[in-house]
Amino acid sequence: MDKISLHGKKFVPYIKYEEIMSFIDQVADKLNEDYGNDSDIPILLCTLNGAMMFTSEIMKRLNFDCELMSVKIRSYSGAHTTGVIQETMGLTGDVKGRRIIIMEDIVDTGTTMAYLTDLLREKEARDVKICTMLFKPSQYKKDLKIDYVGRVVENKFILGFGLDYDDLGRQYKDIYVLDE
> pLDDT (tens digit, 0 to 9) for every residue of the chain, 180 residues total?
689 999 999 999 999 999 999 999 999 999 999 999 888 999 999 999 999 999 999 999 999 999 999 998 876 555 555 566 776 677 878 999 999 999 999 999 999 999 999 999 999 999 999 999 999 999 998 999 999 999 999 999 999 999 999 889 999 999 999 998
> In whole angstroms, how far apart are CA 147 and each of 14, 96, 104?
24, 21, 12
The H-assigned helical ranges of the chain are: 17-35, 52-61, 111-122
Q: What are the residue numbers of the active site?
A: 108
Q: What is the CATH code of the structural domain delimited by 4-178?
A: 3.40.50.2020
Q: Would you give the distance in Å from CA 61 to the centre of its chain?
A: 16
Helix H or strand E segment including 128 = strand 127-135
The H-assigned helical ranges of 16-171 are: 17-35, 52-61, 111-122
Q: Where are the domains of the chain?
A: 4-178
**pTM, full prediction:** 0.91
